[in-house]
Chains A and B, each alone.
Chain A
Amino acid sequence: MDMSPSTIRPKLTARGVNVFYGDAQALNQVDLDIRAHEVTALIGPSGCGKSTFLRCLNRMNDLIEICRVDGDIRLDGEDIYDPAVNLVYLRARIGMVFQKPNPFPKPIYDNVAYGPKIHGLARSRAEMDEIVASSLERAGLWDEVKDRLDAPATGLSGGQQQRLCIARAIAVRPEVILMDEPCSSLDPIATARIEALMDELRQNFTIVIVTHSMQQAARVSQRTAFFHLGDLVEVGDTDTVFTQPVDPRTESYISGRIG
């Protein structure tokens, strides 16, 4: 994909997003665009609201009773907080991978097939097999599990489980994939595999990733957004943010002085 930033229309736009947990404000007036076919990294010290922002993007926060979101978030120009929005459809278009691998305690096959099944994406068993195989393939897991698709997913290693969760997410063919610290429980080798995977997935999907690793952000992302105490401090091309940060807070975080 070789498009200059100016020609890319944002896939997701957030304007003036405030999030409250009860009375405590977790995000303060966040404006952020997520561009299609790019990896956007969200970085910042613990508790600054990265996960909160991520979960706003597919309305996962609706599950938290005390959470209130205001502001305007649009997917391809459509307001996703419109009361009439069909949440099922929204989440089918914006998939999510969580910090801790959370496979269903079911066979590997069923894990990947679950999304397509509930959305009626496969018309036959053969088609479903095809979807499962290709999703596992793209998640780089196929060779390891193709002989034991009926084995319980919980028997996989942590890294395999996380790749399974990615396969499960892409099996629905979402447009955007949100990843919340997907590598935090993984060893370097598994991390490297998933990073490679992200770069590849970027061809077909838009990716937003939360990470605590500056190196990871630098390696995988095209754009980086830095959060601090609920504020979006700075956003820009990853190279720029890491080499010439504008805000002093960004600079001290990147150089390891806060966080």
Chain B
Amino acid sequence: MTDPRQSPTETILASLPRRRRAEARFHFYGIAAIGIALGFLILLIGAIGHQGIGAFSQTEIALDVTLDESVLDPSGTRDPETLSTANYRAVVRAALGEIFPEAVRKRRDRRKLTALVSIGAGFELRELVLADPGLIGRTMRVWVPADDEVDMLFKGVTVRDSGRFTEKQLGWLDRLEAEGRIRSAFNWRFFSNGDSREPELAGILGAMSGSFFALVTCLALSFPLGVMAAIYLEEFAPRNRWTDLVEININNLAAVPSIVFGLLGLAVFLGFMGLARSAPLVGGMVLALMTLPTIIIVTRASLHAVPPSIREAAIGLGASRMQAMLHHTLPLATPGIMTGTIIGMARALGELAPLIMIGMVAFIVDVPQGLLDPASALPVQVYIWADSPERAFAEKTAAAIIVLLAFLVVMNLTAVILRRRFERRW
């Protein structure tokens, strides 16, 4: 009997073009998926970069201020107390009056005119005088920050006829520009100031230092605890029901939504232990609980990657298990542990939800100096600014994100380099 079917060759040959197309399509889907991810990433970074780049410069106005002794220090004692409470705003107003004598006659005009300059101008003059009281009585040119609306106008974010400025104000600005009294300078205030209600004065130093204190707390708690727990589980714990449970629990804990850790912090650290709201200490503690499972998991993986023959060699020489671990396994696992820890810290740095739960979202002007000072954190600052109505805060938000991402890039690059440099293949 011969096979009743025809020779399969033709059928197969006929199917080939269709199958080749299917193959190409499938391959394309894969590339497209990666392409979409890449496109999204580029769009995200591009949009935020575009939005935020402006915040790194600031429009400034040149004023010829006369640091009039009769205004600032009528008694002439140069007492710092007097100097720091003096009316610098009046000095600024006077300097503006020098430029626009016609504008200061009417009270309304005067207000419109001073509105062009940030109220930060007065603070900056005060800093100048406090640093060098000898300046009093002198006249000098200083560059002071413009108001945020002016800043937006000169950056081209808003247009002239948006209704934010009167014709008169626009005229004054034109004259300032024509006289060379307007410039765009690097916005060092963004890095040296805390938060402020005035966008042109708002900076991220407070948020950075809050993040720093919180991360230090987080690291100080989660690193030793996590590494020690991992050592125990990987090197010493017997394998039984109980350790299985611990393992499952740790894996699960790593996938618990971060906001839930915030609730734990709220109930235990704030409610039960009565610690202060908004303190980086509490934030760091919550972040530590959140980071702990990650550190345990990477540490175990690194210890596990050290070949057992090393351990056996040490033990065969009469080292105790603890010595074998301390002298050999742990040092060999260190690069992996470091890498994992840095990545865990990077994640903690960007984490926001749990901080909101424990009330770390307050408006805080002062730069925190310690673990218990009220503080925000970089992502908190992003969130607060993103919620602020002033147009100028949009670019601050994006700029804060840029700074946050810059820190993350540095941390992750360090991790990558560590891994490349010390990775050992057995």
For A114, give its contact among B311, B317, B321 (CB under 8 Å). Answer: B317
Contact (Cβ within 8 A) A91 B315 = yes
Contact (Cβ within 8 A) B317 A63 = no
Contact (Cβ within 8 A) B332 A98 = no
Interface presence of A168 (CB below 8 A): yes
Chain B residue contacts of A225, Cβ below 8 A:
none
Contact (Cβ within 8 A) B317 A92 = yes
Interface presence of A217 (CB below 8 A): no
**Known contacts A65-B238, A105-B332, A114-B314, A100 near B320 by CB under 8 Å:** no
15 contacts between A and B (CB under 8 A): A88-B319, A91-B315, A95-B318, A97-B316, A100-B309, A102-B313, A104-B313, A105-B424, A114-B327, A115-B318, A115-B319, A118-B319, A165-B313, A169-B317, A172-B317
Chain A, Cβ-Cβ closest to B323: A118
**Known contacts A65-B238, A114-B327, A95 near B316 by CB under 8 Å:** yes
Contact (Cβ within 8 A) A87 B320 = yes
Chain A residue contacts of B424, Cβ below 8 A:
105
Contact (Cβ within 8 A) A91 B316 = yes
Contact (Cβ within 8 A) B317 A98 = no
With A60-B316, A97-B316, A105-B332 known, 6 other A-B pairs at CB within 8 A are A91-B317, A98-B312, A100-B309, A102-B312, A118-B318, A118-B319
Q: Tell me how far the C-beta of B10 lies from the nearest C-beta in chain A, rounded to whole angstroms.
A: 53
Contact (Cβ within 8 A) B310 A168 = no
Q: Tell me how far the C-beta of A176 lies from the nearest C-beta in chain B, rounded to whole angstroms.
A: 12
Contact (Cβ within 8 A) B316 A96 = yes
State A96–B319 Cα separation when bound (angstroms): 12
Chain A residue contacts of B321, Cβ below 8 A:
63
Chain B residue contacts of A93, Cβ below 8 A:
318
Contact (Cβ within 8 A) B312 A63 = yes
State A91–B327 Cα separation when bound (angstroms): 17
Interface presence of B241 (CB below 8 A): no
Contact (Cβ within 8 A) A104 B328 = yes
Chain B, Cβ-Cβ closest to A65: B239
**Known contacts A63-B315, A105-B332, A98 near B309 by CB under 8 Å:** yes
Chain B, Cβ-Cβ closest to A174: B318
Chain B residue contacts of A169, Cβ below 8 A:
316-317
Chain A residue contacts of B239, Cβ below 8 A:
65
Chain B residue contacts of A60, Cβ below 8 A:
312, 315-316
**Known contacts A88-B319, A168-B317, A172-B318, A104 near B310 by CB under 8 Å:** yes
Contact (Cβ within 8 A) A115 B317 = yes
> Restricting to B205-258, which residues have a CB under 8 Å from any CB of A?
238-239
Interface presence of A146 (CB below 8 A): no
Contact (Cβ within 8 A) B318 A102 = no
Q: Which 5 A-B pairs have the closest CB atoms?
A: A92-B318, A96-B316, A102-B309, A91-B318, A115-B317
Interface centre among B317, B323, B328 (most CB of A within 10 A): B317
For A119, give its contact among B310, B315, B318, B332 (CB under 8 Å). Answer: B318
State A165–B309 Cα separation when bound (angstroms): 12
Digit string of A63-100 for contact with B (CB within 8 Å is 1, else 0)?
10100000000000000000000011111110111101
Chain A, Cβ-Cβ closest to B320: A88
State A60–B313 Cα separation when bound (angstroms): 10
Contact (Cβ within 8 A) B317 A118 = yes
Interface presence of A58 (CB below 8 A): yes
Chain A, Cβ-Cβ closest to B308: A63
Chain A residue contacts of B318, Cβ below 8 A:
88-93, 95, 115, 118-119, 172
Chain A residue contacts of B307, Cβ below 8 A:
102
State A63–B318 Cα separation when bound (angstroms): 13
Chain A, Cβ-Cβ closest to B238: A65
Chain B residue contacts of A119, Cβ below 8 A:
318
Chain A, Cβ-Cβ closest to B307: A102
Digit string of B283-311 for contact with A (CB within 8 Å is 1, else 0)?
00000000000000000000000010111
> Restricting to A45-66, which residues have a CB under 8 Å from any CB of B?
58, 60, 63, 65
Chain B residue contacts of A114, Cβ below 8 A:
314, 317, 319, 327
Q: Tell me how far the C-beta of A171 lies from the nearest C-beta in chain B, rounded to whole angstroms.
A: 8
> Restricting to A232-258, which residues have a CB under 8 Å from any CB of B?
none
State A104–B316 Cα separation when bound (angstroms): 13
Chain B residue contacts of A97, Cβ below 8 A:
316
Chain B residue contacts of A98, Cβ below 8 A:
309, 312-313, 316
State A104–B311 Cα separation when bound (angstroms): 9
State A46–B394 Cα separation when bound (angstroms): 73
> Restricting to A106-143, which residues have a CB under 8 Å from any CB of B?
114-115, 118-119
> Restricting to A153-183, which residues have a CB under 8 Å from any CB of B?
165, 168-169, 172
State A234–B424 Cα separation when bound (angstroms): 45
Chain A residue contacts of B315, Cβ below 8 A:
60, 63, 91
State A100–B307 Cα separation when bound (angstroms): 12
